Structure 1
Amino acid sequence: MPKHRLDQQQRATPGIGARCAHPPSTFAQSVSTSALEAIVAPIELAHDAPAAHFRNWAGVYHSDAATHDGAFAHTQRRVFAPHSVEQVVAIVELARRGGAHGTTPIPVRAIGRVHSPSDLPFSLGWSIRTDELQGVVHVDADACTATMLAGTYLETITHVLAQHEPPLGLHNLGSISQQTIAGVISTATHGSGIHFPVLSAHVERLELVCPLLTGAQVVTCSRTERADLFNASLCGLGATGVIVSVTLSVEPAFRLEQMTEDVPLHVLLGDTPPPSSLQPEILAREPYTTFTHNPAALGVLLAAGVDLPPAPAYAPPPRSVSPSNVYPYVPVEAPCAQPVDWNAGEATRAVQQRIEALVASAEHVRLLLFPQAEMVTIDRARRTEKPADAPSAASALYHRVVHYHLSQFLLFSARFHTGLPQRVARWIYRWTHASPPRVPREAGAAPPVEDLAPLSTSSAVQVRVDAAPNVFNFDCLFPQYTYEYAIPYEYAGAALRALRAWLDEEHARPDGVRPHFPVEVRFVDADGIYMSHCYGRKTCFIGIIQFRPYGWPTSYRRLFQRFEALMRQFDGRPHWAKTHTSYAVELAQRFPHLGDWRAVQAAYDPHQILVNPYVARHLLDTHSAGRVSLFKRSKL
């Protein structure tokens, strides 16, 4: 049986040329079922092997009932760990035929690091673990491209590119690099930078194993070859084909100089507006202009448990000119005027202007809101030729002891009393963030980073220079429930003011929800990818979390339900990797190419064997031709 464990370090292995070789297009038609079984037998994991049982990083979804109470069951469960493209073709073809003795196709799903907090990675039938299908196949410094197998971790890719001569790197990264490149692409993972698109937009070429009517085979696609399949697969949710190879655009390696500034929340979001004199039930019946002029009123309703007014009927962005229009986004017509102006109020307009000035001041900007401490951390980074700072062993030790162990213990303790979460959040913030200067900086003094002025002369400012991946990545600490929504960039100020008012109201109520920290805010450019969160518009991502210290459950359902209701007011789109309650009718109003995506999915997977319950539930409004989903959330 193949050796496999989820957190293994990927290392270069010999014979990568043979492992990425394609079988002939007639392979599926010419090989018998018994021969296919012989091919997959050495890579099938035994049912009692640890790697045959998996759960997502949050610990919410598990692959079988034996490991956790209240989990889900499987039909004809088999788990494979292929290390060659031919083996993937054999698995998919065998599933298409219904296995050794079947006649009905069996569901099959490719799985990477299972980082998604939702049930997106899971299959009711067979699973393909892609961690062994790894390795950087080829790097072309002249063309600035790199080709790798689909199960290669981002951290492996960045390491190989950095070791190349000349050193190379990816254009952008998200918060973590412990993900497979296929998983990153399938969910249109993003970093932060208003002039940088989702990571999928940097893909030049894909190779997928598709279960066609004539048999499973490797299909190549790009902007110029099968552009419809290419576009659909750049955020394909694993349903348009099993990705086996990816060619990415890269650039010369670079370092980033990041300035981190901690300022009071009111410096960015303005003063908290006075609470409405109206009772929430009366406020809910006010004209919608009440909320567009004062978005904080939405927060008052949320905290009171009063239903928000119906969200405006936002028009989706125009369709893009063609499937090959991946990035930049080029619409066929001018966008429709939207029904509300969220910057109508003077205070909100001022906040939006401050946010836009911040986002424009550096290449990569990220906000971390700590509403319990009434503080916000502003990370601004840009490329630099300065040498990297020397690593600090003392700083690494402090981070491990205080950020990780002490924070986890305090968050665990806060589970036992409703008055503790807010206090714990303030304590942790104080211990993990720099203190403001005792004497304010002089107004005319040179900024800590050239041409990058802090928002306040009294703010704590830290500057670091490091290799880009080290700055892009962010320690997510321990398991957590997480929710993230993508809203139009121009609504960022209004949404954050409403979010702040809501959380303030919750903290003031004895029975209010007790969110953890931080609220992460990032900014991404528009693209033309059919199902990308950023399709057709510059985007502000807002994410909230509830930690699970020591893997113990914490209350999160009411918090996330209210957050989702708030984001819908601002034309929010759910992050595909997260659990959400958006379904096809609503999503069609957000994604004008949903029909195109469905058509591609049906054409390249006519038996729907790559459609799992998540995809069927949210994008197809069906449980996949009568298959009843057996997935359930673990006991929380």
Structure 2
Amino acid sequence: MPPLPPPSAAPLDDLSIHDLERLLDPVTTKHGNQLTFRNWATTFRSDAAAVFRPRSVQQVRYAVELSRRTNRTIRAAGAGHSPSDIVCTGDYILDLKGLDNVLDVDGDSRTFHAEGGILLRNLHPILLERGSLALSSLGSISDQTLAGALSTSTHGSGVTFSSISTYATFLDIVLPQPGAPVVRVSRSEDQDPDLFHAALCGLGAVGIVVGVGMRAEPVFKLEEEIFTMRFDEFTKRWQEIAESAEHVRCWWFPQVARVKISRLNRTNKAVTPGPSALSSYLQNVVLAKHIHAVALSAARYLPALLPYHAWFMWTFREQPGPVRWREFFAGIWARVSGSKTGGPWPRIEELDQDGKGAVAELPFHPVDPATLPEVRPSDVSSPSFDRTDSNESSSSKLTTPDDMLTPPYTPPTQSPVNEAVVVDRPVSPASDLELPTSIVEEVEAKTAVKQERTPMPWPILEDKPTYRVDLGVKIFNYDCGFPQYTYESCIPYESTGAALNELHQWHTHELAKPGYPLRAHFPVEIRYAAKDEAWLSPTGSGPGCYLGAIQYRPFNLPVPYREHFARFSGTLFSLFSGKPHWAKTHTLTPDDFRKLYPRFDDFLAVRERVDPKRVLANEYVKRHLLGEVPTEQMEHQGRRWKERFGVALTAIAILVYYLFFDSSSSPTVSTAVPSAQLANPSSLSRVSPSSPSGGVEPVPAPISPMTTQSSLETAAPTFAHSDVSSLTSESTKSADSTSAAKVDQKTASKASTATSSTASSRSGQEKSGTSGQTYKGEATFYFPTELTNMMQQNGNAGACGDKNSDDALICALQTEIYAGGKNCGKEVQITRTIGEGGSVAVTVADECPR
């Protein structure tokens, strides 16, 4: 059955900006907490001028057209699982989760058509119910939106399985061009294949993906086999292991030099019963979350605990089989006593004595990928597998679509069985090695063998493997635990062993240092992906191995990670041309990407063609794709939207103090003073205090930690301004959506002529004999002066519920200090401490989440 036609796109030329705003009003958020975008890990946040939550493609078009006409940036947001600022903007955010319909499922052709905002976890049961279909490969979670997973080259693991975007057959995209047209793109020559291949990993920079057509396969069960190996044995056999099953994923625990391996194959076996509720709770909640979080919290102050904790988690959770108490305590004693032998600990003395031990002196400079060994033509990209189980009927065999580069592969089942079954073992596509399984002896090479209860072919396994069978999605997905910092790099497939050894040597030297200053968490995830066709896919040039580092944030607390990630990413990038996962935080520039991606300039050409006004170009796009940020400023600019945990925690502590311990009624003021509701915030310009010319500065200064000054006498908490910028009359776009005290022209001229300024602490002042508090931090506020006509409130009430006149002296407080409205109506004094001085008293009338 042919796919449904693309959504209709009626002309928008006859609609004015006011008409577009009116049509979007039911799905628009203009104030309050919902203006704040936070990613899942709560490591990045931004406060938008408006958030649109469309329920139809037409509303998406209205939002994109409004952004284009008003010169605003708009960014599509999904589930927020990217641990970077890829979504963050101070302009418009387009929350696509309302576009969650599955429009068509065709079980015969094994295809489906869904809107881009549907969460993968909601897509799975619909495909199962309406077509008995399932996605061929998945990552660790299914919490992403479909469009988000495609746009960042989300992947699973398997040497013959590419990223999820490979299975897309067409995309429906809203373009940021006049009239916000909806176009359908695909591999067909008459449907803009260049835009299709750019959008398969488009980072939200080439259009808004509102519809996706994809291939699937008949719903399947997976059998998972889990076993462990020592790291040195694993690196000798990494390729053999990677190619031994349909899907192979590994977790390396560098502190104890052990690797946990999961091999997945499709099967017709019955679903195995899961563990008891009590056992599951103890393992997956008490141990994996509570005890793990407490130990990692303690390691924030005593990093030397981390190796011991890694050994504890390996022994009691990760290693299959019974707990080996004697071995566990022997390992603890070996490290405590400083023994040169015994225990799981990797030691410098055991490293290869070939000069590579001096990993600390590794150079960090870009390496041209052309200098690396080329992937052999036979390596994985051209599978020659018999993709069915011998016990499957011919009707269940998977067909190979013409447009699919890496069709699924199904090797023989692997767990022990009671009766012998003849299995035709395929030959590895990347080597002359036989694909090993857990149930065959290496006796009948490249011939039919019998499947019986025989030991694993590798005598170095530490444990007897464990097995389970369930639906594919339940095996692919697992609980990732609590929030975390993550970094993932994709290296050429053939470099896997060398890269792991390089990281191992570096980490072993760090482990030998007193106190373990590296503070690395565990594990390092190892996954594989086949070559695909997306221009910006990390595996677009050939098969790859993804290596992922992780730093958990126990109880949502920050932990050190920058030094660890910088060395981890630097080693992989400089020595192996490692490509960062697009969803992760990195500091690579367009020049770096040109060396890594042969089609990078083609991608930029398509991007410029579909978005000449740069409507979709936020700071992330400008920094990494367009090269508008100097290299020396990359790291600083990349942290503009970082969540300031110190400020947040301090604000909570101060709020608790005033609510429960302080007898005065003075409100607590946050480090950022936003404005009352503005009808047209884009009419204001942000002026850089540090700019000699007073020019417009598009990036606000970072928020400083907030500190309190004790025993101060003020009418209310006071902001003292350490620097002031001159007034600009140019009507330009505000750098962010935060705003602050509204002051009439007369009062403004007495207090300050500044458009904005930055706050720092000062001593208190006396007024009415009441006690208050002065805080150190930053505040942004605007004085209307000649811009008064641009700051009308249009009868809108603030969060406090009262409507104010346009010349009212009012302000908005940060959410933590707004305290659910407890400070509404109270007075706050804002004081300038340089130049002519002066101050102004304003009334709390609104809430701002920043």
CA gap 1:151/1:34 in 2 versus in 1, 3 angstroms:
same
Match of 1:30 in 2: 14
Following superposition of structure 1 onto structure 2, how do residues 212-231 of structure 1 map, counting pairs within 5 Å? 212=177, 214-224=178-188, 225-231=191-197
1:459 Cα deviation after fit: 1.9
Following superposition of structure 1 onto structure 2, how do residues 490-505 of structure 1 map, counting pairs within 5 Å? 490-505=494-509
Amino acid at match of 2:517: G
Give the Cα–Cα distance (whole angstroms) in 1 for the partners of residues 113 and 552 of structure 2: 36
Match of 2:545 in 1: 540
Following superposition of structure 1 onto structure 2, how do residues 245-256 of structure 1 map, counting pairs within 5 Å? 245-256=211-222
Pair 1:396-2:280 in alignment: yes
Structure whose alpha-carbon radius of gyration is higher: 2
Asked if structure 1 preserves the Cα contact closer than 8 Å seen for 2:526 and 2:545, the reply is yes
Asked if structure 1 preserves the Cα contact closer than 8 Å seen for 2:245 and 2:264, the reply is yes
Pair 1:201-2:166 in alignment: yes
User: Could you tell me which of 17, 24, 44 is aligned with 1:40?
Assistant: 24
3-state SS, counterpart of residue 127 of structure 2: helix
Give the Cα–Cα distance (whole angstroms) in 1 for the partners of residues 464 and 555 of structure 2: 32
Match of 2:41 in 1: 58
Match of 1:405 in 2: 290
User: Could you tell me which of 545, 560, 584 is aligned with 1:578?
Assistant: 584
1:630 Cα deviation after fit: 8.6
Amino acid at match of 1:31: L
TM-score w.r.t. length of structure 2:
0.58
1:139 Cα deviation after fit: 0.2
1:454 Cα deviation after fit: 5.8
Give the Cα–Cα distance (whole angstroms) in 1 for the partners of residues 56 and 271 of structure 2: 38
Amino acid at match of 2:13: Q
1:579 Cα deviation after fit: 0.5
Amino acid at match of 2:184: T
User: Deviations for 1:318-366, whole angstroms, at most 9, x for unmatched residues?
Assistant: xxxxxxxxxxxxxxxxxxxxxxxxxxxxxxxxx2xx1111111100001
Match of 1:507 in 2: 511
Spell out structure 1 runs of 4+ moving beyond 6 A. Answer: none
CA gap 1:369/1:610 in 2 versus in 1, 3 angstroms:
same
Amino acid at match of 1:414: A
Following superposition of structure 1 onto structure 2, how do residues 94-109 of structure 1 map, counting pairs within 5 Å? 94-98=66-70, 105-109=71-75
Match of 1:525 in 2: 530
Following superposition of structure 1 onto structure 2, how do residues 476-491 of structure 1 map, counting pairs within 5 Å? 476-491=480-495
Amino acid at match of 2:55: H
CA gap 1:490/1:189 in 2 versus in 1, 3 angstroms:
same
Asked if structure 1 preserves the Cα contact closer than 8 Å seen for 2:77 and 2:87, the reply is yes
1:623 Cα deviation after fit: 5.3
3-state SS, counterpart of residue 269 of structure 2: coil
Pair 1:364-2:247 in alignment: yes
3-state SS, counterpart of residue 45 of structure 2: coil
Match of 1:610 in 2: 616
Pair 1:110-2:76 in alignment: yes
Asked if structure 1 preserves the Cα contact closer than 8 Å seen for 2:46 and 2:90, the reply is no
Amino acid at match of 2:102: V
CA gap 1:458/1:558 in 2 versus in 1, 3 angstroms:
closer
3-state SS, counterpart of residue 464 of structure 1: strand
3-state SS, counterpart of residue 91 of structure 1: helix
User: Deviations for 1:192-212, whole angstroms, at most 9, x for unmatched residues?
Assistant: 000011101100110111011
1:418 Cα deviation after fit: 2.2
| 554-563 vs 383-392, greater mean Cα deviation | 383-392
Pair 1:620-2:503 in alignment: no
Amino acid at match of 2:42: G
Asked if structure 2 preserves the Cα contact closer than 8 Å seen for 1:486 and 1:539, the reply is yes
Amino acid at match of 2:291: L
3-state SS, counterpart of residue 551 of structure 2: strand
Following superposition of structure 1 onto structure 2, how do residues 215-294 of structure 1 map, counting pairs within 5 Å? 215-224=179-188, 225-269=191-235
3-state SS, counterpart of residue 606 of structure 1: coil
User: Could you tell me which of 398, 404, 422 is aligned with 2:307?
Assistant: 422
Match of 1:87 in 2: 59
Asked if structure 1 preserves the Cα contact closer than 8 Å seen for 2:530 and 2:542, the reply is yes
Match of 2:598 in 1: 592
| 418-427 vs 358-367, greater mean Cα deviation | 418-427
Asked if structure 1 preserves the Cα contact closer than 8 Å seen for 2:74 and 2:94, the reply is yes
User: Deviations for 1:41-61, whole angstroms, at most 9, x for unmatched residues?
Assistant: 00002411x433221122111
1:507 Cα deviation after fit: 1.1
Asked if structure 2 preserves the Cα contact closer than 8 Å seen for 1:436 and 1:458, the reply is no
Q: How many pairs are equivalent?
A: 507
Match of 2:424 in 1: none
Amino acid at match of 1:478: F
Asked if structure 1 preserves the Cα contact closer than 8 Å seen for 2:160 and 2:246, the reply is yes
Following superposition of structure 1 onto structure 2, how do residues 261-410 of structure 1 map, counting pairs within 5 Å? 261-269=227-235, 351=236, 354-392=237-275, 393-398=277-282, 399-410=284-295
Asked if structure 2 preserves the Cα contact closer than 8 Å seen for 1:369 and 1:377, the reply is yes
Give the Cα–Cα distance (whole angstroms) in 2 for the partners of residues 41 and 460 of structure 1: 61
3-state SS, counterpart of residue 357 of structure 1: helix
1:34 Cα deviation after fit: 2.5
Asked if structure 1 preserves the Cα contact closer than 8 Å seen for 2:227 and 2:320, the reply is no
